[in-house]
Amino acid sequence: MARPAWIVGAAGAAAVSVGLGFLGRRVLSHLDAVEVSGRSMVPTLRPGDRLLVESWTYRRRPPQVGEVVVAPDPRAPKRELVKRVAAVADGRVSLRGDAARSTDSRRFGSVPLTSVRARAAFRYWPLARAGLIPAASAVSHPAPSAVSHPAPRAVSHPAPRAVSD
């Protein structure tokens, strides 16, 4: 007995929808949005920059030197920092800001490799600066007297959760 074409079409559309929904949930569960509010990553990231961060990369491999990552602040674990990986050794990661005056691993020490939560992948705001977040092969810091920055502030999610910088 032949089935009407509309039933076959509806069943196919439902199967595709369920498959895409499952795939979408898997991808979206590894994405998060954060807003930068501190100056420790200037000039790469500026206060008000909004970023998409993703966690699936670090399920496959450890962070690499030069990548911009999100990790808990060891001084206040409920806050998160956005910093560049300066070194990875012995299960620990050294984090540095791109700005000369940055509160980073030079002040609070390295953090456990397992605490790195996500990689900053894409800046979506402001639109004029939208694009991939560059990984650097070497972290350079201008002379401290050349740049003046206020104390670090928190990086916060556009939604309810807050992260730090």
CA gap 58, 64 in Å, rounded: 10
The answer, yes or no, to whether residue 16 has pLDDT greater than 60, is no
Which superfamily is assigned to 31-146 in CATH? Answer: Umud Fragment, subunit A (2.10.109.10)
| DSSP assigned state of 146 | G
Is the bond preceding residue 160 a cis peptide, omega within 30 degrees? no
Average pLDDT, the chain: 78
- 15 burial (CB, 10 Å; 0-12 / 13-18 / 19+) is exposed
What does pTM read for this prediction? 0.70
Q: Where are the domains of the chain?
A: 31-146
Query: Which pLDDT belongs to residue 77?
Result: 84
Give tens-digit pLDDT for 21-69: 554 555 456 799 999 989 999 999 999 999 999 999 999 999 999 999 9
The whole-angstrom separation of Cα 41 and Cα 97 is 5
Q: What is the DSSP string of 91-144?
A: TEEEEE-SSSS--SHHHH--EEGGG--EEEEEEEESGGG-EEPPP-SS-----G
Least confident window among 11-25, 122-136, 141-155:
141-155
- Say whether pLDDT at 116 is over 90: yes
pLDDT for residue 160: 34
